[in-house]
Amino acid sequence: MFTVPVLEIKSDPLDVLLAVIGYRLSMLADSDNEDVKALLADRKVTIELASTEADVARYYSFDNGEFSQHSGHAKEADLTINFKDSMTGVKLLTKGSLPAFMTAVQEGNLSIEGDYSLMMWFNKLAKHIVPTIPEECKPYIQKAKPYAYKAQKLANHWVGVAKHKLGK
């Protein structure tokens, strides 16, 4: 695994995802979105997400409407979410389901330390991470989907051919 020094992002999928989430949170903190501003107002918390097995850690600091993200472990996190491994973290974060997190805790795939109420708060904030698609764009996306599926099938076919030819 290597690290992109300027961005402080490791080549690990979990660290890449966490960095992207951090950049999106930074955009949201600077936006005019009143819902996000209300969620960030009067909050001074640090949330760390990590995977010990993958040696990945990143933390987000929220300070009364200001946001910053940092690579590595926080000195004092109000909430720490530690995934069993990198792919477990990626799957759970992309699913975006609080019940899935609770199930993962029960199964031992993730541990949570600190203020559990921050999970609920962060979940509300996370709903704003994926931008909503404007209604006027949705018909174009529906028209493009069949072509994307065909392209994906074609790409999968040629990846399979390449692997077969290379003996992998």
Per residue in 52-69, pLDDT (tens digit) is 887 899 999 999 999 999
Contact assessment for residue 30 and residue 36, using Cβ atoms and an 8 Å cutoff: no
Q: Is the pLDDT at 93 greater than 50, yes or no?
A: yes
Please provide the average confidence, as pLDDT, over all residues in the chain. Answer: 86
**Average pLDDT value for residue range 18-25:** 92
DSSP 95-159: HT-HHHHHHHHHHTSEEEEE-THHHHHHHHHHTTTSPPPPGGGHHHHHHHHHHHHHHHHHHHHHH
CA distance 79 to 46: 7
Token digits of residue 131: 């931008």
Which residues lie closer than 8 Å to 130 by C-beta, 6 or more apart? 96
DSSP 41-110: TT-EEEEEEEETTTTEEEEEEEETTEEEEEES--SS-SEEEEESSHHHHHHHHHHT-HHHHHHHHHHTSE
Query: Which among 9-13, 96-100, 107-111, 155-159 has the top mean pLDDT?
Result: 107-111
Which pairing describes strands 9-10 and 44-51: parallel, antiparallel, or unpaired? unpaired
Helix, strand, or coil (residue 17): helix
**Average pLDDT value for residue range 85-92:** 91
Q: Is the pLDDT at 82 greater than 60, yes or no?
A: yes
Domain 3-126 in CATH 3.30.390.10? The answer is: no
Residue spans per domain, the chain: 3-126, 135-166
